[in-house]
A and B are shown apart, each in its own frame.
Chain A
Amino acid sequence: MALLTGCVSSRIEQSRQGVTGIGSGEAMVVLGRASYNDRETEESFTACLEDILVSGSPPIRMISQTEFRDDLYPWFEARTSPKSARDLGALFAQPGVQHRIQQANIRYLAWIEGDTVTVDSGGSMSCTISTFGGGCFGMSYWEQDASYEASIWDLHNLNAAGQISADANGTSYIAGLILPIPILARPGNAACQGLAEQIRQFIVGA
């Protein structure tokens, strides 16, 4: 059954603080900023960013965050990771860290913060099944807001290269007409696509 898609409105903003560019063989890492409250970037979102950046034109060589965190353990755990680009100098002074990063030829780190939340919902739908058949009747909706920000650090110059933010909003519906008919807006997916392409242009551009 073909999936009906709802409408999503999105906005991407960028702030550049330095010259960028990525050489042949250089890599990038996307890390979700961990926090100890309810709001944390979903692993699926950072995985989505990696998938888009590694393909497309031009593709960017990616190091998975799992591999990166294991290789640089314990320096990029939730409570030990550097909080700003200013901390990179102290981090690189730790034995083996700079060598490990240079060995992997990692040029940029992108810290991703934000999440997708449901801001409104309503309606009702009931479904029933019996020995003589079943079906659904009614309609429900939910509105989601996806808001993410990427802070990009240049590991060669040990500074912050810039920030990119992505905001997307959309409302999904499920109509029950015997069969449930979903009309899904996917703001998280739209934010991922927009943010990934903007990161690519930012990294590759001047």
Chain B
Amino acid sequence: MVHLTTRRWVQVGAVSNLIKRFVVLSATLLLLAACSRTVVVSGTVPTPLVAQLPVRLGVYYSDSFKTYSYEESLKNEGNWTIDFGQQNVLFFRQLFATLFREVVELDASQLSLEAVQGLDLDAVLIPEIEEYGFLTPGISGLNFYSASVKYKIGLLNREAVSVGEWRVVGYGKSEGGSFQGGQAVNSATLLAIRDGGARIAINFPRLDFVRGYFATIDREELSGLIRD
């Protein structure tokens, strides 16, 4: 009887230790998850279905554009790092390759009159990210995550002189559960990039300063497209 009682207490003690370890481990994992999150944004890149402008364009992606990363420390939600430079470059490469007949990627040293004319470019585009922000349900009180990206698109002429700039904001939102915040921010940011890209694909060729500049390029097929 005594041996049976001792054995029963030993078994209860072993189970009790197991439960304690499980609780401590779970709490530690939750705490670690709450401390910092890194989201490397990735997703599909659609090919725009838009009229192609028959121009030869140079595009300069700065290092800050190519490696854009946003960091923020949120109260009760830890540190967030959103890395979407790579996805951005992939998206804009696809966008500009579809929007313009020829695209030449430039480096910083080629943003000069000699280089632009040497490469026989009609114009140069410089996309930049001016601002990025995101909201979680914990901040907004709503039941979704959202993100916004503010782009600046600069246009240089054949003399590498600015003819105008255009700012456009892309916005995206995504549902997300309690433990799916990273996935939701990824989706919201992707949608924000798509939204910005859609605005650029449709509206950029129709901007007054863009149409005004392209009208100076003597190309019959171009004049018909920018007239609309």
Contact = CB atoms under 8 A, between A and B. Distances in A.
A97 B49 contact: yes
B199 interface: yes
Given A77-B194, A94-B49, A131-B19, A42 B44 contact: no
B15 A131 contact: yes
A75 B51 CA distance: 13
Interface in A49-87: 69-75, 77-80
Contacts, number: 61
Contacts of B19: 129, 131
A75 B199 contact: no
Contacts of B175: 42-43
Interface of A is mostly: loop
Which residue, of A70, A72, A100, A129, has the highest number of chain B Cβ atoms within 10 A?
A: A70
Interface string A118-135: 000000000001011000
A100 B201 CA distance: 18
Contacts of A95: 49-51
Contacts of A38: 142-144
A143 interface: no
B16 interface: yes
A42 B20 CA distance: 39
A26 interface: no
A70 B44 contact: yes
B142 A74 contact: no
* Chain A interface residue bracket vs B: 20 to 34
A73 B194 contact: yes
A96 B50 CA distance: 7
B161 interface: no
Interface residues of B, number: 26
Contacts of B119: none
Nearest to A75: B49
Contacts of B191: 78
Nearest to A96: B49
Given A36-B171, A38-B142, A42-B175, A72 B199 contact: no
B202 A74 contact: yes
Interface in B14-69: 15-16, 19-20, 44, 46-51
Contacts of B15: 131
B198 A74 contact: yes
Contacts of B47: 73
A40 interface: yes
B127 interface: no
Nearest to B171: A36
Contacts of A43: 175
Contact of A74 (B171, B173, B197): B197
Contacts of B144: 38, 40
Nearest to A131: B16
A55 B20 CA distance: 48
A79 B49 contact: no
Interface string A79-109: 1100000000000001111001000000000
A39 to B, nearest CB: 10
A70 B16 CA distance: 54
A84 to B, nearest CB: 18
B159 interface: no
Contacts of A131: 12, 15-16, 19-20
List the 4 shortest-distance A-B pairs measured between CB atoms, nearest first: A74-B198, A73-B46, A131-B16, A70-B46
Interface of A: 36, 38, 40, 42-43, 69-75, 77-80, 94-97, 100, 129, 131-132
Given A71-B46, A77-B195, A95-B51, 6 more contacts: A70-B44, A73-B47, A74-B199, A80-B199, A95-B50, A131-B16
9 contacts: A36-B171, A38-B143, A38-B144, A40-B144, A70-B44, A73-B198, A79-B171, A129-B19, A131-B19
